[in-house]
Structure 1
Amino acid sequence: MKSKSILKRMIPAVFLACSCSIFGQFTVKRLYDPSIVAQEKRMVYAKWGDWRPYPKYFLGVQTNFAYATVWGMWAPSRNRDYKNGSDIRPLKANGLETQRYALVESQRQEAEKIKKEADTIHKRSVQDFAHWTSATVSADPLWLLYYNRMLKPLREFPDNPQNAQDWGFERDETYQTLLSTGGIDILKERLDLLKDKYKISRTTEMPRGKRFLMYHETLIGWRKLSAEIRSYDLKGGLALDYFKLLEKLKNTSSLFSDKTFQTDKEIAEDVMMHYKHQF
């Protein structure tokens, strides 16, 4: 009884093993069919031709039914056109699939190039944004090295100067003359414009290049205004000295205004008396 039980258990196992062996042999045979292999070669790059199955003739009559139905007289017209047509292997040197691969590769390289350019533009944009905002203008190297020092006099100049000292005049007479003639109002208007331009350049969001152009324009305007103030001061001092000298000459000539009918001797004596304590 025990041997029968063991035999019953072994029969399904043996049947399963035989089935697997037969199925495996069948699969291997189909996988390595020569016609399929030839077709695979035609579909890639290896070889154009080897038209399996081959024809067989007996007394000039085609006897290979497989050939006749695949490539021969009973085959579809598209099969005969394919066999007799040009080499259309997709993976040959100039095949369609090879061209697609080349196109894909060129597109990949172009995409990499665009990505690098985009990354560069993004990094540059981030760097430029740091200079756009007014929060970081004081940290700019060009501002620290040059414009901060050059625009310091304008920054420290009074917003509303009220006297000659505030304007930088050496003589109060020059300030009073400009005040009476309206020259101070013109200078004040130009000063306000420079102050406003300087404030805009420091507080407004703008590109770095435009900001430094405004710095430069403000600096040029400030230099012109300073030169004009010094010119007024110099010309005013010369004018005052001239007026004082002219007034002195008038006072001197008045000594002789009532001596029109004096003799030469009397005129000489009067002059000597006037200047006796100066020489």
Structure 2
Amino acid sequence: MVFQQWDQNKFYPKAGFLSLNPYYWLVWGLFDPNYHKTDIRPLSATGEQTQRLALVSTMNGIDNRYKLQSDTARNTALSQIASQSGLLSDAAPLWLLYYKQQFNPLLNYSSVSILGGLSPQVSGKLVSEGLYGWYTGELDKLKERLNGARSTDMDRGSRIMAYYRMLNEYKNLSSVWAIRTSSAQMTLDMAAHQQSLQKGTVTIPNWTPNSDVQIANKVLQNAKY
């Protein structure tokens, strides 16, 4: 059949002997002599529908490539957003494994955690002299900066460097506070000894000439060469 396979010999009526068939001329010869020579099937190798299907297939391939590129750009954008977004900073591995534990005293400090291990006398001295207020003020500023670094959108490297710098500042601040508390305790001890001397309540052991010799011998025994 023509729609399955093109064959110009299947067109009737034929030209006949010496092309003298009048029906041929009435049907084909006078009006469209090349009609039976041209394959006009839409689904032929060069048909219009075949060309449209080939074009559709080509456009589908182009669309798929565009989709692949857009998906790649989307995944890259999502990856960058995930690494830079402040909303996801608490899920960063380095924060969970190290910095969260290191900054926990700073993020959750209170008067109990700061003054809990000190005697009432030392605590009162630190509060009365304003050292406690100064220390909590520095902690508040450092805590505010830390929360800002955690919530601000920035690249992962900048955020880690901010954590690193603030952790060093926190350690230095904690060292200063430890020195101040030790100094306060030492000052109170010296004041207590001075009062004891003034009141004459300090017992002084009896001294003999052999006392210096015994002290010197003890020093020599404990000396390491």
Mapped pair 1:221 → 2:224: no
1:171–1:233 contact (8 Å) kept in structure 2: no
Give the structure 1 partner of residue 99 of structure 2. 147
1:169–1:230 contact (8 Å) kept in structure 2: no
- Quote how far apart the aligned CAs of 1:122 are: 6.6
Give the structure 2 partner of residue 137 of structure 1. 89
Q: Report the structure number with the largest CA radius of gyration.
A: 1
TM-score, normalised relative to structure 2? 0.54
Mapped pair 1:243 → 2:195: no
Mapped pair 1:157 → 2:160: no
Unpaired runs of at least 5, structure 1: 1-8, 20-114, 254-279
Looking at structure 2, the residues matched to 11 and 170 of structure 1 have their Cα atoms a distance apart, in angstroms, of 120
- Percent sequence identity over aligned pairs: 24
1:169–1:233 contact (8 Å) kept in structure 2: no
Unpaired runs of at least 5, structure 2: 1-11, 30-67, 202-225
Q: How big is each residue's C-alpha offset from its partner over 1:48-71, in whole Å with a ceiling of 9 and x where there is no partner? A: xxxxxxxxxxxxxxxxxxxxxxxx
Q: 3-state DSSP class of the match of 1:12?
A: coil
Mapped pair 1:13 → 2:41: no
Q: What count of residue pairs does the alignment treat as equivalent?
A: 149
Looking at structure 2, the residues matched to 212 and 10 of structure 1 have their Cα atoms a distance apart, in angstroms, of 89
Q: 3-state DSSP class of the match of 1:151?
A: helix
- Quote how far apart the aligned CAs of 1:179 are: 2.3
TM-score, normalised relative to structure 1? 0.44
Q: 3-state DSSP class of the match of 2:15?
A: helix
CA RMSD of aligned residues (A): 3.6
1:174–1:232 contact (8 Å) kept in structure 2: no
* Higher relative contact order (Cα pairs below 8 Å, separated by 6+ residues): 2
- Quote how far apart the aligned CAs of 1:11 are: 7.8
Looking at structure 2, the residues matched to 209 and 237 of structure 1 have their Cα atoms a distance apart, in angstroms, of 42
Q: 3-state DSSP class of the match of 2:154?
A: coil
2:126–2:181 contact (8 Å) kept in structure 1: no
Q: Which amino acid aligns with 1:215?
A: Y
1:201–1:214 contact (8 Å) kept in structure 2: yes
1:168–1:229 contact (8 Å) kept in structure 2: no
- Quote how far apart the aligned CAs of 1:171 are: 2.1
